[in-house]
Structures are given as structure tokens and as C-alpha cells.
């Protein structure tokens, strides 16, 4: 997978993202292309642009310097791509793996996206007590994810499947 370097609005290097994510940021007017691959183009139904090698954010972001994304409910839903950790269907709520009533905290490793039904069914129990195993373990977002989260929106969940890459 090709990576694109992301610069802050102040031109400082921040992170790398996949080529597809870089193109999404450019198409959403959140970044501009500073340097493109000379022989690669990204092509889709309504898109034909040079593949970005370096992009620069239009807005200055500060989160990446903390290296860790601050926890938020929205962040958990975005990290889990709005998929329920118990059944895989669309999730609209955030569940505490170890319930708050058992001392569970608002942390990346203790929270997962959940559909309202499973959240209600699990109630104040651990996955073991409820007999509801997690389909995947919760994880801490990477610095690149933290940067994308700080830009707002769901762009690190919504990768365009319509983009293809061609040699120009």
C-alpha cells in the first residue's frame, strides 16, 4: 500500500496516510496536493487527479503532537467503522466492555461500538457474564487516525471503493 506524507497547514510533517485517504482529504477540500507522483493518477467516476505524494492540511491541527487521540464516543464509532462489536450490524451506541458499574472507564480499550439492541441486552455485565464475545478487540487509534479524527468527519471510516489507480 502506497503512503502519502501529510503536512500540517504550517508545513510541518505530521503523519502518513494511505493514498486513498489522502485523495479523500483533497476531494473534501481538507488538504491540498503539494507534490504528486509523476506517473500515477487516481481515477474514478468523476475524478482524475495525480496521485498525491505529499499533501498539506488546509487547517492547522494540534492533536498529533499529543501522539494520542483523546477518547470520545464519536471517536469509538469512527474507529469501529460504525459496526457493532457483538453482531457486526450498524452501531449507533458505545458500550463499556467492563461496565461503569464495575469500575470500567471511558478509555479506548474499554469501549466498543454497539448496536442499541446488544447494548441493552448486555446491560451491566461483562462480555463473559453476558455470553456475548467480542468479534474483535478494541484498540488505541494510531497517530494517523488521531490526526484524521481531529479533522472531523468520518473520512477514516469511509474509504471510496470507486477509486482506481492507473499509471498515467
Total number of residues binding Zn ion (CB under 5 A)? 5
Q: Which is nearer to Zn ion, 110 or 114 (CB)?
A: 114
* 3-class DSSP assignment, residue 49: strand
Is residue 99 within 8 Å of 112, Cβ to Cβ? no
Q: Which is nearer to Zn ion, 84 or 94 (CB)?
A: 84
Q: Which is nearer to Zn ion, 86 or 108 (CB)?
A: 86
Q: Which is nearer to Zn ion, 54 or 87 (CB)?
A: 87
- Can residue 130 be called a binding residue for Zn ion (CB under 5 A)? no
**Binding to Zn ion in span 60-79, by CB under 5 A:** none
Return the DSSP state at 44. Answer: E
**Binding to Zn ion in span 99-118, by CB under 5 A:** 115, 118
Is residue 5 within 8 Å of 13, Cβ to Cβ? yes
Q: Which is nearer to Zn ion, 29 or 137 (CB)?
A: 137
* Number of other residues whose CB lies within 10 A of the CB of residue 159: 14
Site string for Zn ion, 76-95 (x = CB under 5 A): --------x-xx--------
Site string for Zn ion, 25-44 (x = CB under 5 A): --------------------
**C-alpha to C-alpha distance for 56 and 30, rounded to whole angstroms:** 9
- Characterise 99 by phi-psi region: left (phi > 0), alpha (psi -120 to 50), beta (else): beta
**C-alpha to C-alpha distance for 141 and 80, rounded to whole angstroms:** 10
Structure-block grid coordinates of residue 69: 487521540
Residues that bind Zn ion (CB under 5 A): 84, 86-87, 115, 118
Amino acid at each position: 500500500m502506497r503512503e502519502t506524507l501529510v503536512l500540517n497547514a504550517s508545513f510541518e510533517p505530521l503523519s502518513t496516510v494511505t493514498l486513498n485517504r489522502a485523495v479523500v482529504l483533497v476531494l473534501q477540500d481538507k488538504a491540498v496536493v503539494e507534490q504528486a507522483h509523476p506517473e500515477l493518477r487516481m481515477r474514478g467516476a468523476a475524478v482524475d487527479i495525480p496521485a498525491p505524494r505529499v499533501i498539506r492540511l488546509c487547517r492547522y491541527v494540534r492533536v498529533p503532537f499529543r501522539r494520542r487521540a483523546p477518547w470520545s464516543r464519536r471517536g469509538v464509532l469512527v474507529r469501529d467503522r460504525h459496526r457493532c462489536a457483538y453482531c457486526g450490524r450498524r452501531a449507533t451506541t458505545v458500550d463499556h466492555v467492563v461496565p461503569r458499574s464495575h469500575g470500567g472507564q471511558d478509555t479506548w480499550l474499554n469501549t466498543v461500538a454497539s448496536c442499541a439492541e446488544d447494548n441493552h441486552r448486555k446491560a451491566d455485565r461483562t462480555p463473559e457474564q453476558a455470553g456475548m464475545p467480542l468479534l474483535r478487540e478494541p484498540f488505541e487509534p494510531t497517530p494517523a487516525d488521531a490526526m484524521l479524527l481531529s479533522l472531523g468527519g468520518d473520512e477514516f471510516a469511509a474509504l471510496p471503493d470507486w477509486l482506481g489507480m492507473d499509471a498515467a
